[in-house]
Structure 1
């Protein structure tokens, strides 16, 4: 078999459990943070459990970064 492809039998169960735990933590955190910010929590939470770390980076760019810019702009206008 090609060295770049692995079957599930070749991957240690501890690594699979760690990956599942990290995906669950990421999805849960994204859901809770999006709910706090009122920004489509179910979308972000479900997408957060699909892969690592892509959804988290995009969430940071779209939601967190824009909220920080908006808050900084509102403080300047006061």
Structure 2
């Protein structure tokens, strides 16, 4: 039988708690940083709690990197 798919009962609870905390931390950090920069904080924050590390990488490319380029030109 193909063992590439796991049921929720087979995943250790410690791993689930770690993943939940990681998603919460990532979403909160993205939300607070986007609010500081004035860049749609609710959108970024909600998207930040959906997966790891995709939203964080895209946020870095779209928001942080463009802000760094903008400030270095001044």
Is this a same-fold pair by TM over 0.5? yes
DSSP 3-state at the match of 2:33 = helix
**What's the CA shift for 1:8?**
0.2
Q: Which runs of 5+ in 2 are unaligned?
A: none
**What's the CA shift for 1:71?**
0.0
* CA-based RMSD: 0.6
Residue 48 of structure 2 corresponds to 48
Q: Which runs of 5+ in 1 are unaligned?
A: none
TM-score, length-scaled by structure 1:
0.93
Residue 57 of structure 1 corresponds to 57
Alpha-carbon distance in 2 for matches of 1:31, 1:22: 14
Alpha-carbon distance in 2 for matches of 1:19, 1:2: 25
Residue 32 of structure 1 corresponds to 32
Alpha-carbon distance in 2 for matches of 1:16, 1:2: 23
Number of aligned residue pairs: give it: 74
Which has the larger Rg?
1
